[in-house]
């Protein structure tokens, strides 16, 4: 592990969080907590409608800052809260954003403090992030669609909405993203877009090779490193597809996920996609062998018969197959070793014919939140010291982006 904890993702960021009228205001309370935990200072601004759903006292307690609710607030010496608040902010986040407030933004109306500061902000210096929250029919209404298109054209970034149960009892689009999802979206917004316009394919997790309906060959890979790489690539602006073995991890925001079970399923999912991708990161711990024939029923233990013979056959080599394609992406392989990491990683680099292998000690990192990586290429090695997996993933993505620029 690192000698000191990493800085929070939103350290030194000052955010204005605007709440408009809607039942999703309850999520804004948890969002405030999550943003503060991520290192941000949060200045809450509430419309009159928002005060019908949650109190200013609650938001003040969670943000540890006085809440602003009126353009006539007398606290600022210059009586210009809408100017002061927007000039201090690194971004304005409106969550929840009602259909009415989105209409205000589209029309440039400024009849309350929140809409005033949105119009008064310096567009090039203070971005506007909008998290819609409304009934599915309101979200689908042609007027709302026009208004959303207009504010996006004016430079706003839309966060969501999600699909799911709504307070009215209906189900559909328009539900506000959850607090953790919004936190991650805000973090991603501020990450450098080093892979903008690029497409990335990532494999993650173990594979499972069935012996019979209840037993199989697998390994201890949790998929955490691969999922972190997928998230970091998406944060960097890439279009990301993640092919995941059997793991219990949430899909990173903005990532397209394909679930597979066996090495052959992973191979069949990867091969059609790889030629059209710019980067392929083979993080998955793919089983080298599988049983020749999986039993259709559970193999029963019988007294005196001993262990059954298990004939194995080699699985397809996904990384080597992609690396041999006529139009291959930039290939990055992983080598999870138990010893002599550098030697085994270099052998794998030559055997697979890829430009970069990332080595690590598998038993020390499987299932853990931290890792240490060794980058091995034809020119030498470079260590990425122990850190949390997302931090390492961002460093690896930056390394890949640099190599892509050097070899377009």
Catalytic residues: 168
Peptide bond into 395 cis (omega under 30): no
Instruction: Supply φ then ψ for residue 188, to 5 degrees.
Output: -65, -35
Q: Can you list the alpha helix ranges (DSSP code H) found in 38-162?
A: 56-63, 81-88, 99-107, 113-120, 136-140, 142-153
Q: For the stretch 38-62, what's the b/e string if a residue is b when 16 or more beta carbons lie within 10 angstroms of its beta carbon? A: bebbbbbbbbebbbebbebebbeeb
DSSP labels for 274-343? GGG-SEEEE--B--SEEESS--SSPPPP-TTS-SPP--EEEPP-HHHHHHTSTTPPEEEEEEEESS-HHH
363 Cβ contact partners less than 8 Å away, ≥ 6 residues apart: 220, 338
Q: How far is CA 43 from the centre of its chain?
A: 25
Contact 23, 99 (CB under 8 A): no
The SS3 call for residue 389 is helix
The SS3 call for residue 120 is helix
Q: Is the dihedral of CA 63, 65, 66, 72 positive or negative?
A: negative
The SS3 call for residue 386 is strand
Distance CA 228, CA 305 (A): 46
Distance CA 363, CA 383 (A): 18
Distance CA 150, CA 109 (A): 13
């Amino acid at each position: 592990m690192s000698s000191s904890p990493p800085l929070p993702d939103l350290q030194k960021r000052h955010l204005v969080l605007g709440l408009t009228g809607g039942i999703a205001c309850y999520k804004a309370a948890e969002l405030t907590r999550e943003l503060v935990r991520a290192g941000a200072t949060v200045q809450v601004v509430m419309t009159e409608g928002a005060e019908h759903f949650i109190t200013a006292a609650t938001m003040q307690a969670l943000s540890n800052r006085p809440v602003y609710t009126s353009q006539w607030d007398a606290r600022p010496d210059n009586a210009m809260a809408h100017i002061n608040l927007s000039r201090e902010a690194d971004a304005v986040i409106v969550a929840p954003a009602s259909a009415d407030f989105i209409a205000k933004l589209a029309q440039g109306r400024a009849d309350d403090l929140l809409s005033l500061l949105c119009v008064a902000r310096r567009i090039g210096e203070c971005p506007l992030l909008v998290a819609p929250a409304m009934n599915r029919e309101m979200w689908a209404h042609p007027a709302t669609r026009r208004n959303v298109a207009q504010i996006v054209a004016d430079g706003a970034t839309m966060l969501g909405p999600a699909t799911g149960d709504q307070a009215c009892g209906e189900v559909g689009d328009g539900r506000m993203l959850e607090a953790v999802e919004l936190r991650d979206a805000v973090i991603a917004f501020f990450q450098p877009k080093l892979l903008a316009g690029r497409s990335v394919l990532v494999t993650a997790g173990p594979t499972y090779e069935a012996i019979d309906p209840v037993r199989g060959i697998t390994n201890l890979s949790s998929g955490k490193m691969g999922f972190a790489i997928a998230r970091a690539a998406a944060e960097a602006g890439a279009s990301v597809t993640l092919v995941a073995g059997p793991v219990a991890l949430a899909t990173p925001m903005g990532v397209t996920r394909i679930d597979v079970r066996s090495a052959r399923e992973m191979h069949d999912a990867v091969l059609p996609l790889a030629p059209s991708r710019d980067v392929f990161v083979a993080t998955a711990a793919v089983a080298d062998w599988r049983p020749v024939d999986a039993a259709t029923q559970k193999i029963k233990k019988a007294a005196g018969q001993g262990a059954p013979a298990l004939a194995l056959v080699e699985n397809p080599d996904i990384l080597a197959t992609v690396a041999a394609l006529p139009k291959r992406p930039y290939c990055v392989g992983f080598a999870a070793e138990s010893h002599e990491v550098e030697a085994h990683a270099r052998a794998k680099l030559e055997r697979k014919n890829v430009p970069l292998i990332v080595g690590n000690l598998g038993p020390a990192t499987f299932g853990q939140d931290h890792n240490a990586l060794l980058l091995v290429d034809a020119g030498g090695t470079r260590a990425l010291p122990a850190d949390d997996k997302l931090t390492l993933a961002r460093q690896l993505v930056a390394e890949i982006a640099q190599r892509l620029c050097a070899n377009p």
